[in-house]
């Protein structure tokens, strides 16, 4: 007689964003087919005694194999990035199909599909980056792409090659209002940064630590307020990405308190790093250069409080992989760069869940349901992948993580699976680690090792964001 299930996970201590219960999980054809007891026969059984069973992580902000220009190249493509995601308990990734200025958005999406095709070990969707909102992009390409499942897009208020002016941002927000898409905003004031950068440079202040001085909190606060004001004017929800500290949080809280639908995301670097990490011997600080920059201990606590208080909906890695010793990375052209030319971004796909679990759940700052909500359920909802992703329920994809809440791990880059030559969290000890990760019922990581198949991950068109979470 053939088995009823392909796999049964027994004695599962299931934790979702809202519930905790013990059951067996029956999996058939990549889907959760039953939650219950005495489920009958299965081709394979895994005993989860002593482990939590969580929905697979959804990393809704990561950069992989993104075309860069300026001689830069990301260290991770879909192959190495998805491998690292799998080993960190993440089963869905949403990187960015980035439009270069002068390029059609459609061409950017097609190019990005080529880069992903047959590479990823986990399922993936795309956000768009809109850097050139021509009339054709606004009237034709964007609405068409949204209807095809690219329902979220990022706009930048800084970076010369990507930034939009205020009028352009309003135009893009208006498309989102008409179509029900979600705009993600990188909120930093470009002219303030340029002005400060010029003065620092003129004074000979070019070391990595001055990256933080060129992008103080007020630069983020002002742009966050401006983006919120634009969202109010157009009457559309937005999501502020990678929020770094108190001043931006105050703006977001203020808007949320007035009833505006302002969603927000933060990332591990704003909980574990400070501007002092940019002030290391020699050029080492370049390893922690990202934007907005990490702040200080008080701001870390402000971010923790805002996580606990549900100001944030999403906790993402903002994995932006540039190797330290790479002439296409942090040492562009083989040279130590002035701070303003250091490629922005740090790696973090694999360490996202353990860092939040350890500092948050073990540290008593957030509860386990908030942890699941921030890392899986809410990003799945906001980006239109729920209920296929983001929960443990009958009919959902069997994306599951068997999580050891007591496992102590000291993070070492040599044990991670990305292609970056460092981690900013080297030597940090965390409690809690994913011991097994399943993607649609297939085991893809086990005991710190990758056992998945590159290319088995599927592209998923996204539905309309569920804005009411």
> What is the greatest pairwise CA distance in the chain?
79
Among 42, 290, 342, 435, binds ligand URP (CB under 6 A): 290
Least distance between ligand URP and beta carbon 266 (Å): 12
Q: Supply the angle between the helices 217-234 and 246-257 in degrees, to the nearest 10.
A: 20
423 sits near ligand URP (criterion: CB under 6 A) = no
Tokens of 56: 């697979």
Q: Supply the angle between the helices 166-179 and 217-234 in degrees, to the nearest 10.
A: 50
Strand segments, DSSP code E, in 72-187 are 90-93, 96-98, 123-124, 127-129, 152-156, 182-186
358 sits near ligand URP (criterion: CB under 6 A) = no
465 sits near ligand URP (criterion: CB under 6 A) = no
User: Using CB atoms, what's the residue nearest to Zn ion?
Assistant: 186
64 sits near ligand URP (criterion: CB under 6 A) = no
**Do β-strands 127-129 and 152-156 pair in parallel, antiparallel, or remain unpaired?**
parallel
Binding mask of the shown chain, residues 149 to 188, with x at each position contacting ligand URP by CB under 6 A = -------------------------------------x--
Return contacts of 307-312, CB within 8 angstroms, 24+ apart.
307/266, 307/360, 307/365, 307/366, 307/370, 307/374, 308/365, 308/366, 308/370, 310/370, 311/249, 311/252, 311/253, 311/256, 311/264, 312/243, 312/264, 312/265, 312/266, 312/374
- Residue 345 or 360: the one with the smaller Cβ distance to ligand URP is 345
Least distance between Zn ion and beta carbon 246 (Å): 19
- Residue 179 or 344: the one with the smaller Cβ distance to Zn ion is 344
Q: List the beta bridge partners of residue 406.
A: none
318 sits near ligand URP (criterion: CB under 6 A) = yes
Strand, coil or helix: 90 = strand
Of these partners, Zn ion, ligand URP, none, which one is at the site of residue 442 (CB under 5 to 8 Å by kind)?
none
Among 63, 127, 381, 389, binds ligand URP (CB under 6 A): 63
Least distance between ligand URP and beta carbon 320 (Å): 4
To the nearest 5 percent, what fractions of the chain are helix, strand and coil?
35, 25, 45
127 sits near ligand URP (criterion: CB under 6 A) = no
**Binding residues for Zn ion (CB under 5 A):** 186, 318
28 sits near ligand URP (criterion: CB under 6 A) = no
Q: Which residues contact 232 (CB under 8 A, 6 or more apart)?
A: 255, 260
Of these partners, Zn ion, ligand URP, none, which one is at the site of residue 344 (CB under 5 to 8 Å by kind)?
ligand URP
Least distance between Zn ion and beta carbon 232 (Å): 22
Among 242, 388, 389, 442, binds ligand URP (CB under 6 A): 242
Of these partners, ligand URP, Zn ion, none, which one is at the site of residue 290 (CB under 5 to 8 Å by kind)?
ligand URP
Q: List the beta bridge partners of residue 397.
A: 31
Chain residues in the site for ligand URP (CB under 6 A): 63, 186, 242, 290-291, 318, 320, 344-345
């Amino acid at each position: 007689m053939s088995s009823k299930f392909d796999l049964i996970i027994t004695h599962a201590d299931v934790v979702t964003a809202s519930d905790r219960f013990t059951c067996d999980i029956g999996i058939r054809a990549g889907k959760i087919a039953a939650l219950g007891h005495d489920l009958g026969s299965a081709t394979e059984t895994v005993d989860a005694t002593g482990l939590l069973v969580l929905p697979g992580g959804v990393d809704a902000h990561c950069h992989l194999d993104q075309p860069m220009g300026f001689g830069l190249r990301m260290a991770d493509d879909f192959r190495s990035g998805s491998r690292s995601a799998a080993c960190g308990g993440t089963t869905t990734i949403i990187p960015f199909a980035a439009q270069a200025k002068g390029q059609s958005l459609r061409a950017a999406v097609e190019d990005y599909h080529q880069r992903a095709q047959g590479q990823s070990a986990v399922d993936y969707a795309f956000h768009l980056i809109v850097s050139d909102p021509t009339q054709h992009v606004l009237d034709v390409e964007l609405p068409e792409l949204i209807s095809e499942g690219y329902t979220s897009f990022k706009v930048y208020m800084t970076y010369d090659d990507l930034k939009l002016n205020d009028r352009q941002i309003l135009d893009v927000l208006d498309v989102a209002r008409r179509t029900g898409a979600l705009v993600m905003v990188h909120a930093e004031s470009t002219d303030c940064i340029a002005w400060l950068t010029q003065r620092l440079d003129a004074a000979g202040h070019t070391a990595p630590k001055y990256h933080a001085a060129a992008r103080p909190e007020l630069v983020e606060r002002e742009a966050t307020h401006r983006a919120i004001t634009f969202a109010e004017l157009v009457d559309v929800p937005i999501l502020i990405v990678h929020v770094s500290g108190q001043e931006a949080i105050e703006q977001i809280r203020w808007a949320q308190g007035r009833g505006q639908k302002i969603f927000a995301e933060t990332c591990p670097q704003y909980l574990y790093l400070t501007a002092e990490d940019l002030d290391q011997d020699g050029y080492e600080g370049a390893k922690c250069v990202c934007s907005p920059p990490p702040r200080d201990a008080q701001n870390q606590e402000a971010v923790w409080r805002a996580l606990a208080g549900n100001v944030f909906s999403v906790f993402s890695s903002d994995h932006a992989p540039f190797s330290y010793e790479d002439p296409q990375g942090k040492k562009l052209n083989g040279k130590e760069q002035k701070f303003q030319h250091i490629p922005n971004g740090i790696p973090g796909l694999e360490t996202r869940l353990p860092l939040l679990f350890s500092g948050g759940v073990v540290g008593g700052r957030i509860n386990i349901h908030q942890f699941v909500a921030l890392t899986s359920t809410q990003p799945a909802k906001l980006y239109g992948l729920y209920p296929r992703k983001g929960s443990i329920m009958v009919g959902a994809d069997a994306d599951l993580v068997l999580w050891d809440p007591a496992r102590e791990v000291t993070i070492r880059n040599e044990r991670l699976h990305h292609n970056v030559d460092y981690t900013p969290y080297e030597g940090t000890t965390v409690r809690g680690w994913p011991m097994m990760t399943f993607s649609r019922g297939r085991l893809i990581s086990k005991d710190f090792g990758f056992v998945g198949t590159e290319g088995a991950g599927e592209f998923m068109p996204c539905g309309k964001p569920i804005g009411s979470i």
